[in-house]
Structure 1
Amino acid sequence: MNKNVISPDTVWDPGAQLLSQCVAIEQASTTLYLSGQTAITADGQFAGIGDVDTQIRLAFENIRLIVDAAGGTLDNVVKLTVYFVDLRNLDTYTGILGELFPETRPAQTVVEISRLAMPELLIEIDAVAVL
């Protein structure tokens, strides 16, 4: 898979450290559409209640495990949609994103919503990956 970032100078660009405006995939064979991942462990337990850092990391770990099961890595993730209960946690999220995607950030949409499906959840992340 070849990933190319497209960011024309005619569109506002907040900088590659935050996101890629567009990620073009050449010769993709399989596209994965992941359901929203949260801070729920494999045995159905909540992790990091009240701790957004832990919840973000577990959501990404769940994404990694799913993509891995399909034969890929986090590098195959090209699009994220991130749902925050409190957007003041954005800095925590972007710091973790930089750790997990040190080269090319996925294209992203980040929104604040009034609540998630369960009151313990502070964040939910869905993803698209191309293998």
Structure 2
Amino acid sequence: MENNKKIQLINPTELFNPSPYGFSHSISLESPSQICFISGQSGGVGENHLLVDDFKTQVQDALKNLKIVLQSHSMTFENVVKITLLIVDHNSEKLEIWAEEAKKVWSQSFLPTSTLIPVSQLALPEMLFEIDAIAVKN
């Protein structure tokens, strides 16, 4: 890819280094708005991203990680326009946990569009939840 200052790869140092796994945490595109495509964020925080075997904790940690990426683009949850949720062995109890945590970060006046995909497994066997996002700033 040509070196284009309007397209930036941003990998916050507070998160694990994704390059050995063949992806970036986020890409920001300006034209004329800034559009940020954020890779799936999972439970566990920081470089070692140890995962706790608890769905609610993984959702909370994934949202913390998403916030870190958003802040690295000078954005907040209010800039998020689209999310995709991947939930291992999805059920109504997990959906209620997700909804409870989502209400803590998004105001009811501006909720992003959303797709939920039930899956049997994610990238690591201990992962129970993953969220990716698209955020826009004018």
Judge same fold: TM > 0.5, yes or no. Answer: yes
Choose from 91, 95, 107 the match for 2:96. 91
Give the SS at the match of 2:59: helix
The normalised TM-score by structure 2 is 0.71
Q: Show CA shifts across 1:16-55 (max 9, x none).
A: xxxxxxxxxxx96100000000013212232322x11110
Aligned-residue CA RMSD in angstroms?
1.5
Pairs within 5 Å for 1:13-32: 29-32=33-36
2:39 partner letter: S
Pairs within 5 Å for 1:1-131: 29-49=33-53, 51-88=54-91, 89-103=94-108, 104-131=110-137
The normalised TM-score by structure 1 is 0.74
Unaligned ranges ≥5, structure 2:
1-30
Q: Show CA shifts across 1:63-113 (max 9, x none).
A: 111110111111111100000002121110011111111232110000101
Shift >3 Å, 4+ stretches: none
Q: Which has the higher contact order (CA 8 A, sep 6+)?
A: 1
Check 1:79–1:30 CA distance in 2 against 1; reply closer, same or farther (3 A cut): same
Question: Separation in 2 of the partners of 1:45 and 1:30?
Answer: 28
Number of residue-to-residue matches in the alignment: 104
Identify which range, 61-70 or 37-46, moves more after superposition.
37-46
